[in-house]
């Protein structure tokens, strides 16, 4: 029994000793092997030309836009347009039943013609002193009164004829012949869609370079491969005290009417002289609460490369790219992807199998 117990103790000691030796050997091997190199992509920093550009979200609205409504109540007699149609200025769109007004107009015109005949007759009689001056003056007053009554009645007739105040495109209407409408009831929207106005805001710091007639361009995801041209039309007379922005109104050429009022678009406005900046893909920059950083690949002894974290100051962006104002110099090899697994001193190997996007003007198809 004692021999068996001694044997078990010796066996357990051998197992524990073997495990301790195994852990020691593994630790020694790992220490000798070092940290494994991390695979990253990288590119040499170079300069490229940048034109100062402002990009802001804008809202489009019609140059002229109204909701046409009725001035008089009555039954709709005619609807002379269809939804979505282009109409001309002063084109008749809707006629409300005006038979009574037209009949009364004929009565007044007849009375006007009679008053005109009486006036012409009495003028001849007055020349030969057949009537008094008072009679002639009464005839003239009666004629002008009848003339005013005809004009007033024509205005009543015209109130029941709804015309387009300007050329444009009508929206969707739900009115029909025979429908009764009250004063102020909506008939249809009318928008002048070429050109369009674009409303946007820029920081007050750009006020010194803002000028009326400066060229702008518009893009929208609705037409991803199309750029619409325009120009700055007006600047606000004051600065918004809450945002310290200034409101801008642009005019956008919309000859093909592919843009519509109410759409939101991106305004692109270039100003100032071109400048050269160090340029990197945006994926190379790590933005942190304590600042923006990149990892620079440093060549070490025996050709071993390591990563070094460097603080940088960034500038404007365009597409996939970002301008670097300070912290790097031309020719630095900068990690463009894979930096999340890095810290200063970690060995790296540069791979070119996959390159990050680096297009200054990407299109949706490229993403």
- Residue ranges of domains in the chain: 38-49+275-362, 55-63+193-270, 98-159
**What pLDDT is attached to residue 305?**
86
Q: What is the average per-residue pLDDT within 290-314?
A: 87
Nearest to 13 by CA among 24, 2, 21: 21
- Binned at pLDDT 50, 70 and 90, residue 367 comes out as very low
User: Strands 86-87 and 161-163: what pairing?
Assistant: unpaired
- Return the structure tokens found at 91: 């084109």
pLDDT top residue among 366 and 187 = 187
- Who's near 23: CB < 8 A, 6+ residues apart? none
Topology of the domain covering 38-49+275-362: 2.40.420
Which CATH homologous superfamily contains domain 55-63+193-270? Efflux pump adaptor protein, beta barrel domain (2.40.30.170)
Most confident range, picked from 136-140, 238-242, 361-365: 238-242
Q: What does the radius of gyration of the chain's CA atoms come to, in whole angstroms?
A: 42
For the chain, the average pLDDT equals 87
Q: How many helices (H) and strands (E) does the chain have?
A: 3, 21
- Who's near 87: CB < 8 A, 6+ residues apart? 81, 93, 164, 167, 168, 169, 170, 190
What span, in angstroms and rounded, lies between the C-alpha atoms of 315 and 312? 10
**What pLDDT is attached to residue 24?**
64
Largest CA distance in the chain: 168
- The alpha carbon of residue 158 and the mean position of all alpha carbons in its chain are separated, in whole angstroms, by 40
- Asked if 160 contacts 97 with a C-beta cutoff of 8 angstroms, the reply is yes
Q: What percent of the chain has pLDDT over 90?
A: 53
Lowest model confidence (mean pLDDT) among 15-19, 178-182, 277-281, 355-359 = 15-19
Lowest model confidence (mean pLDDT) among 26-30, 152-156, 321-325 = 26-30
**What pLDDT is attached to residue 127?**
87
**What pLDDT is attached to residue 343?**
87
Domain 98-159 has CATH 3.30.200: no
- Asked if 305 contacts 265 with a C-beta cutoff of 8 angstroms, the reply is no
- Binned at pLDDT 50, 70 and 90, residue 89 comes out as very high
Q: Which residue has the tokens 């249809």?
A: 188
**What pLDDT is attached to residue 18?**
67
pLDDT top residue among 29 and 163 = 163
């Amino acid at each position: 029994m004692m021999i068996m117990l001694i044997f078990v103790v010796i066996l357990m000691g051998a197992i524990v000793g073997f495990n301790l030796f195994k852990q020691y050997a593994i630790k020694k091997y790992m220490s000798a092997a070092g940290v494994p190199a991390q695979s990253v992509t990288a590119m040499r920093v170079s300069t490229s030309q940048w034109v100062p550009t402002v990009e802001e979200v804008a809202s489009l609205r019609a140059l002229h836009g109204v909701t046409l409504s009725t001035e008089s109540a009555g039954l709709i007699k005619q609807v002379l347009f269809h939804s979505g149609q282009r109409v001309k200025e002063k084109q008749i769109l809707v006629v409300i039943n005006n038979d009574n007004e037209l009949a009364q107009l004929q009565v007044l015109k007849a009375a006007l013609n009679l008053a005109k005949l009486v006036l012409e007759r009495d003028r001849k009689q007055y020349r030969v002193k057949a009537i008094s001056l008072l009679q002639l003056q009464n005839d003239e007053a009666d004629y002008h009164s009848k003339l005013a009554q005809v004009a007033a009645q024509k205005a009543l007739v015209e109130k029941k004829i709804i015309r387009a105040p300007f050329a444009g495109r009508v929206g969707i209407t739900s009115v029909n012949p025979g429908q009764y409408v009250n004063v102020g009831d909506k008939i249809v929207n009318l928008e002048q869609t070429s050109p369009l106005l674009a409303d946007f805001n820029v920081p007050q710091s750009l006020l010194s370079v803002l000028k009326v007639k400066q060229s702008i361009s518009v893009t929208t995801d609705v037409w991803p491969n199309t750029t619409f041209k325009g120009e700055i039309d007006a600047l606000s007379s004051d600065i918004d005290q809450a945002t310290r922005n200034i409101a801008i109104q642009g005019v956008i050429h919309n000859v093909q009417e592919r843009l519509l009022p109410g759409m939101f678009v991106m305004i692109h406005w270039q100003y100032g002289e071109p400048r050269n900046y160090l340029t990197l893909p945006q994926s190379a920059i790590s933005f942190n609460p304590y600042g923006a950083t990149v990892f620079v690949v440093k060549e070490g002894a025996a050709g071993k490369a390591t990563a070094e974290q460097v603080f940088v100051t960034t500038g404007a962006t365009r597409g996939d790219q970002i301008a670097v104002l300070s912290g790097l110099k031309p020719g630095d090899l900068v990690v463009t992807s894979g930096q999340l697994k890095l810290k200063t001193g970690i060995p790296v190997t540069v791979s070119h199998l996959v390159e990050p996007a680096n297009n200054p003007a990407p299109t949706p198809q490229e993403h």
